[in-house]
Copies of this chain bind each other. A is one copy, B any other.
Amino acid sequence: MTTLDRLSLNQWTTRTWSVAEAADGCVRAGIPAIGLWREPVAEYGLAASAKAVHDAGLRVSSLCRAFGLTSGTGDLDDSRRAVDEAAALGAPCLIVVAGGLPAGSKDLAGARARLADAIGELEPHARAAGVQLALEALHPMYCADRAVLSTLGQALDLAEQWPAESVGVVVDTFHVWWDPQVTEQIARAAGRIASFQVCDYLDPLPADLLLGRAMMGDGVIDFRPLVRAVEAAGYTGDIEVEIFNADVWAADPDEVLATMTARYLSEVL
């Protein structure tokens, strides 16, 4: 592969842009797909967002996200609405971020059990809507505050309780690059990879740990072994670039897309 055929812009990478601006930016940069977030979609309007990406000729690679199924900061009704929004946008999958420990709780096992229960509650609605739930393991440094789902293997242990059509997993290079089991767990994920997200991992991390994601090539990740493993698992879908980074957000979004396409070709493919 030497083209942008599978490249997708996760819109949080250019978060100052509206949905329509991001769609136009993708067209200018030759990027054929976009990963949407609920907040900017709500701001632009659900129907208007669907029309904007459709008129631009873009695929929607994912919708972010259902959140907080363990910690009391999210709820199932909101997650069902997120499924409906994914369906309305033509997104094949909804990213699910587990949530961390409830405030004051130390009951990690209980939080993980609640997550499994919540997926079980949500799955029939997702199946009926034709939207795959994409369970995202987050780096273990977020276990307390954002996601008790900490490894790809753990995500697969959970996802495998349901059909792959309704519950898949996310492979995100930032979250899994360190994992000694990553190669075997990606192989195990064959047929169940709902989303493949790439970005680099900064060393040292910034004080705000959420902003340690970086443009490919600016961190410590060797992408190609991970990309090859995902391809060997049969995944042929979009490769979404999702970057939370203060410098990237401060830059001209068109320049971000220019760098992103260049780095995608030089570092990822």
CB distance from A246 to the nearest CB of B (A): 14
Q: How far is the CA of A203 from the CA of B209 in the complex (A)?
A: 12
Interface: A214 (CB within 8 A): no
Within the complex, what minimum Cβ distance (angstroms) separates A215 from chain B?
14
**Copy number in this complex?**
2
Please determine whether A140 and B106 come into contact, CB atoms closer than 8 angstroms: no
Pairwise interchain contact A145-B203, C-beta atoms closer than 8 A: yes
* Distance to closest chain B CB from A11 (angstroms): 27
Per-residue 0/1 for A82-120: is the Cβ within 8 Å of any B Cβ (1 yes, 0 no)?
000000000000000000110000111100100000000
Q: Count A-side interface residues using an 8 Å CB cutoff.
A: 33
- Please give the distance in Å from A1's CB to the nearest CB on chain B: 21
| CB of A12 within 8 Å of the partner chain | no
Residues 112-148 of chain A: 1 if any B CB is under 8 Å from the residue's CB, otherwise 0?
1000000000000000000000000001110111000
Judge whether B204 and A180 touch: CB under 8 Å.
no
Would you call B220 and A144 a contact (CB within 8 A)? yes
A150 at interface, CB cutoff 8 A = yes
